[in-house]
A and B are shown apart, each in its own frame.
Chain A
Amino acid sequence: MIDVDLEQRAGNFVLRARFVADAPVVGLFGRSGSGKSTLINAIAGVTKPERGHVRIGHVTLFDSARRIDLSPQQRRVGYVFQDALLFPHLSVEGNLLYGHRLRATTVRFIDPAHVIDVLGLAALLHRKPGALSGGEKQRVAIGRALLAQPRILLLDEPLASLDVPRRMEILDYIERLRDEFQIPIVYVSHSVAEITRLADTLVVLSAGECVGVGDVDAVMGRLDLKPYTGRFEAGAVIEATVIAHDLDFDLTTLRFDGGELTVPGLNAFIGERVRARIRARDVSLALSKPVNLSIVNVMAGRVAAIQEESGPVVDVQVAIGDVVLTARITRRSRVQLGIHVGQELYALVKAVSFDHRSTGYA
Chain B
Amino acid sequence: MPGLSPAEIGVVLLSLRVAIVSVICSLPLAILVAYVLARTRFPGKVLVDAVVHLPLVLPPVVVGFALLVLFGKRGPIGSFLDQWFGIVFAFRWTGAALASAIMGFPLMVRAIRLSIDAIDRRLETAARTLGGSRAWVFASITLPLALPGIITGVLLSFARGLGEFGATITFVSNIPGETETLPLAIYSLTQVPGGDVQAWRLSVIAVVLSVLALVTSEWLTARTTRVKSDDRR
Residue numbers of A with Cβ under 8 A of B are 44-46, 71-73, 75-79, 81, 85, 87-89, 98-99, 102-103, 127-128, 130-131, 144-145, 148
Contact = CB atoms under 8 A, between A and B. Distances in A.
B130 A99 contact: yes
Contacts of B103: none
B225 to A, nearest CB: 10
Contact of B132 (A73, A79, A130, A145): A73
Nearest to A88: B228
A274 to B, nearest CB: 34
Contacts of B229: 128, 130
Contacts of A99: 130-132
A89 B233 contact: no
B130 A144 contact: yes
Given A81-B122, A131-B231, A88 B145 contact: yes
A89 B230 contact: no
A102 B144 contact: no
Contacts of A79: 126, 129
Contact of B231 (A46, A76, A128): A128
B145 A73 contact: no
Contacts of A128: 228-232
Contacts of A73: 128-133
Contacts of A72: 125, 128-129
Given A128-B230, A148-B130, 11 more contacts: A46-B125, A73-B128, A75-B129, A76-B131, A87-B126, A89-B227, A98-B132, A103-B131, A130-B230, A131-B232, A145-B129
A41 B127 CA distance: 14
Interface residues of B, number: 24
Nearest to A148: B130
Most buried by B among A78, A98, A127: A98
Interface of B: 120, 122-123, 125-133, 136, 140-141, 144-145, 227-233
Contacts of B131: 73, 76, 99, 102-103, 148
Nearest to B144: A89
Q: Which applies to chain B's interface (DSSP): helix, strand, loop or mixed?
A: helix
A125 to B, nearest CB: 12
A77 B126 CA distance: 11
A306 B132 CA distance: 54
Contact of B145 (A76, A89, A103): A89
A168 B159 CA distance: 55
Contact of B228 (A75, A102, A103, A130): A130
Contacts of B141: 87
Contacts of A144: 130
Given A87-B141, A89-B145, A78 B129 contact: yes
A341 B120 CA distance: 56
27 contacts: A44-B129, A46-B125, A46-B128, A72-B125, A72-B129, A73-B130, A73-B132, A79-B126, A81-B122, A87-B123, A87-B127, A87-B141, A88-B228, A89-B227, A89-B228, A98-B127, A98-B130, A99-B131, A102-B130, A127-B231, A128-B228, A130-B228, A130-B230, A131-B230, A131-B231, A131-B232, A145-B129
Contacts of B144: 89
A85 B129 contact: no
A85 B120 contact: yes
Contacts of B233: 131
Chain B CB within 10 Å, residue with most, of A44, A81, A89 = A89
A148 B55 CA distance: 46
Contacts of B136: 102
Contacts of A46: 125, 128-129
B71 to A, nearest CB: 40
B232 A130 contact: yes
A73 B145 CA distance: 21
Contacts of A98: 127, 130, 132, 140
A85 B132 contact: no
A164 to B, nearest CB: 25
Nearest to B230: A128
A185 B123 CA distance: 22
Central interface residue in B126, B127, B230, by most chain A CB within 10 Å = B126
Nearest to A147: B130
Nearest to B229: A130
A85 B122 contact: yes
Contacts of B126: 79, 81, 85, 87
B98 to A, nearest CB: 34
Contacts of A103: 131
Contacts of B120: 85
A44 B130 CA distance: 10
A101 B176 CA distance: 55
B59 to A, nearest CB: 41
A139 B128 CA distance: 19
A98 B124 CA distance: 12
